[in-house]
Amino acid sequence: MRSRRRWSGRSKLFAALAIVAGASAFWLTDGYAARLQALRPAVGEPVPVVVAARQLPRGTVLDPGLLQIRELPSNYVPPGALAVVEQAAGRTLVSDLAAGEVVTRTRIEVAGGAVAALVPSGLRAFPIRAGVPPGAVRPGDRVDVLATFGGPRPYTETVAAGLEVLTILEEAEGAFVADGGGPALVLLVSPETAERLAHAVAFGRLSIAVGSPDEPA
């Protein structure tokens, strides 16, 4: 009999503790929800924004696979942030984007000025076709341009070295470059280098050599 009373008392104690634990959990959960709700006016409601899915260099032509949609508190959304992936698809980046960084209107070229929007003051964008397979070179890579000249004694020389690939124009955009076929590399050059490249295009056959990303610019 005494043993039954002892277990009965313990059962009541366990039940009481369970009730207290449940009430505490409810209070804590309810309190957390209330505090979270109280913070919302300070940071704003979550809104969708377009972000880079990975690090993207300047000159990248954006496609939906390079972009993601994330939600940010409205008070932390930068001005001009895009909310729909289609707003950025097909546009060209005018500056580098880190992975997860918000895509804004100031980071993409405006319609009708895809190349000009990428060129810093004092430099030029020079397009060449050099038989480069699609996908072999990306914006931001550095290349050397070589020209082979004919005549009785053909020779090859390096016309310019360490040039940055600004962007790449596909064959459908060939109005920018009339010679040859395949994608055109748009290189960032000085006005003097542009003159040397123009001479090489007119009198020689161009090819490129891709440099290591570890080499100094």
What digits encode the pLDDT tens for the residues 105-141?
878 865 545 677 778 889 999 999 877 777 788 888 9
Q: pLDDT per residue over 81-97, tens digit each? A: 899 999 888 888 888 88
Same domain as 204, residue 130: yes
**Is residue 156 located within the same domain as residue 125?**
yes
* Residue 28 sits in the same domain as residue 52: no
Over the stretch 153-188, which tens digit does the pLDDT of each residue have?
999 999 999 999 988 876 544 444 444 556 788 999
Question: What is the residue-averaged pLDDT of the chain?
Answer: 79
Indicate whether 18 pLDDT > 80: no
Residue 112 lies in a domain: no
pLDDT of residue 176: 45
Q: Is residue 138 in some structural domain? A: yes
Output the pLDDT for position 66.
Answer: 94
Same domain, residue pair 52 and 94: yes
Distance CA 140, CA 117 (A): 16
Domain extent, residue 156, equals 119-210
Q: Are residues 146 and 206 in the same domain?
A: yes
When pLDDT is cut at 50, 70 and 90, the band that residue 33 belongs to is low
Residues 27 and 50 in one domain: no
Asked whether the beta carbons of 121 and 178 are under 8 A apart, the reply is no
* Residues 184 and 146 placed together within one structural domain of the fold: yes
DSSP string, 8-29: HHHHHHHHHHHHHHHHHHHHHH
| Calpha distance 63→212 (Å, rounded) | 26
Regarding whether 130 and 199 lie in a shared domain, the answer is yes
Q: Can you give the pLDDT at residue 177?
A: 45
Considering the domain architecture, whether residues 172 and 95 belong to the same structural domain is answered as: no
Residue 195 located in a structural domain: yes
**Residue 114 in domain:** no
What are the angstrom distances between the C-alpha of 162 and each of 36, 42, 125, 188, 212?
A: 53, 49, 14, 10, 10
Residues 67, 92, single domain; the answer is yes
Nearest to 186 by CA among 135, 134, 124: 124
Query: Which of the pair, 9 or 186, is modelled with greater confidence?
Result: 186
Name residue, tokens 């430099």.
Answer: 123
Based on the domain organization, do 130 and 192 belong to the same domain? yes
- If one counts the domains in the chain, the total is 3
- Establish if 39 belongs to a structural domain: no
My answer on whether 193 and 147 are in the same domain is yes
